[in-house]
Amino acid sequence: MFCRNCGKELIGNPDMCMSCGAKPLSGTSFCKACGGTTNPLSEICVKCGARISKVENNVSPKSRLAITLLSFFLGFLGIHRFYLGRIVSGIFMILTLGGLGVWELVDFIIAVSGNFKDKNGLKVTNW
Ligand SMILES: [Zn+2]
Ligand SMILES: [Zn+2]
């Protein structure tokens, strides 16, 4: 694959580009399949036809199973929110004891349904 940020060819599927330090799929300037330059707004590479839309980047790398279990067992401590980097709401969760259980339950339902978002606003849909 190629880094979508700087266009350098990468071996395997690394989390970080060795050349520019960015997440290889976070960029929009190059095609990940052929390394050609791409229009940031286009969904398909005009050179090779590969799909380069940002859809796959809209999913959080965090584990849905983790936040489901954490919100169920330790929801009142907001651990699942800390895990996702949502520190402030996590602290509120502790202070309110998970909204006396209601907030905790709501979070659990959202987590199970795959609609929970991490601090970057990406949905945690991968189990
Ligand atoms: Zn790069
Ligand atoms: Zn391409």
Rounded to whole angstroms, how far apart are CA atoms 6 and 23? 10
The pLDDT value given to residue 8: 95
CA of 6, nearest ligand number: 1
Distance 44 CA to ligand 1 centre (A): 20
User: What are the Cα distances from residue 27, in Å, to 19, 38, 102, 120?
Assistant: 13, 10, 39, 15
- For residue 56, pLDDT beyond 80: no
- Top pLDDT among 42 and 97 is at 97
Question: Which residues pair with residue 9 across a beta bridge?
Answer: 2
Rounded to whole angstroms, how far apart are CA atoms 112 and 71? 10
Q: Are 34 and 45 in contact (CB under 8 A)?
A: yes
Question: Which residues pair with residue 44 across a beta bridge?
Answer: 51
CA of 20, nearest ligand number: 1
Distance 7 CA to ligand 1 centre (A): 6
The model's pLDDT over 113-127, given as tens digits with 9 standing for 90+, comes to 999 999 988 999 999
Distance 67 CA to ligand 1 centre (A): 31
- For residue 58, pLDDT beyond 80: no
Residue ranges of the domains in the chain? 1-58, 64-113
pTM (two decimals): 0.56
Q: Measured between alpha carbons, how far apart are the two ends of the chain, in Å?
A: 25
Q: Are 52 and 32 in contact (CB under 8 A)?
A: yes
